[in-house]
């Protein structure tokens, strides 16, 4: 086996890049899935489209994501995690950098407990929001 590098060319398909991006995204903290409308879901079921992911391959990689995020997690932190995971995965797998990565958060997904409470119950004797406002204390 030769230790001298051999010049050549490597071809990476769009499907491979999509699989790397999808795996890195779904493995990130707070991501519950990709956002897609009914038409996109049908095209995905037929194998004609990957909803929520758009990849443009050229000299540079441009990636657009449409995600849903778990309710109650910090959206900015989820976006940072996704950005970091995708850039790392592509750098490790393909030795390529991403020129532009755009992340759209298209919705929140609630856990098994259902949606967020509409009215928070106040137990007797507990300070409520009006009590804090009337006390003159600054609350951030």
Structural domain for 74, as ranges: 14-115
How far the first Cα of the chain sits from its last, in Å, is: 65
Q: What confidence category does residue 122 fall into, taking pLDDT thresholds of 50, 70 and 90?
A: low
The CA-based dihedral angle spanning residues 89, 91, 95, 96, taken in that order and rounded to the nearest 10 degrees: 110
Classify residue 139: in a domain, yes or no.
no
User: Quick one: what percent of the chain has pLDDT higher than 70?
Assistant: 71
Looking at residue 140, its pLDDT comes to: 42
Residue 94, in any domain of the structure: yes
Pick 113 or 21 by higher pLDDT. 21
As a whole number, mean pLDDT of residues 41-52 equals 72
Q: Is residue 111 part of a domain?
A: yes
Give the model's confidence band at 137: pLDDT under 50 very low, under 70 low, under 90 confident, else very high. low
Domain assignment present for residue 134? The answer is no
Q: What is the count of structural domains for the chain?
A: 1
> Nearest CA to 70 among 101, 104, 115, 38?
115
pLDDT at residue number 135:
55
Q: Which residues of 37-61 are buried (b: 16+ CB within 10 A; e: fewer)?
A: eeebeeeeeeeebbbbbebeeeeeb
Residue 101 dihedral angles phi and psi, to the nearest 5°? -125, 115
The DSSP symbol for 35 reads -
Flag whether the pTM goes above 0.75.
no
CB 23 within 8 A of CB 70: no
- Residue 32: inside a domain: yes
What ranges make up the beta strands (E) of the chain? 31-34, 53-57, 61-70, 98-109
The per-residue pLDDT for 139 is 46
Round the average pLDDT of the chain to a whole number and report it.
80
Residue 91 lies in a domain: yes
Q: What is the pLDDT of residue 60?
A: 86
The CATH number of the domain holding residue 41 is 3.30.70.1350
Q: What are 71's two structure tokens?
A: 């309710």
Per the domain annotation, does 140 fall within a domain? no
Instruction: Establish if 62 belongs to a structural domain.
Output: yes
Q: Rounded to an integer, what distance in angstroms lies between the CA atom of residue 74 and that of residue 97?
A: 26
pLDDT tens digits, one per residue of 99-116:
999 999 988 888 665 566
């Amino acid at each position: 086996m030769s230790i001298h590098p051999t010049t050549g060319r490597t071809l990476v398909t769009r499907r491979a890049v999509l699989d790397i991006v999808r795996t890195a995204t779904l493995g990130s903290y707070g991501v519950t899935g990709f956002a897609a409308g009914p038409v996109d879901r049908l095209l995905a079921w037929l194998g004609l489209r990957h909803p929520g992911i758009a990849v443009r391959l050229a000299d540079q990689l441009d990636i657009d994501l449409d995600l849903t995020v778990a309710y109650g997690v910090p959206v900015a932190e989820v976006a940072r995690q996704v950005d970091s995971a995708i850039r790392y995965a592509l750098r490790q797998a393909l030795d390529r950098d991403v020129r532009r990565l755009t992340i759209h958060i298209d919705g929140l997904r609630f856990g098994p407990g259902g949606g967020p409470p509409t009215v928070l119950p106040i137990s007797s004797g507990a300070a409520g929001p009006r009590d804090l406002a009337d006390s003159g204390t600054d609350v951030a």
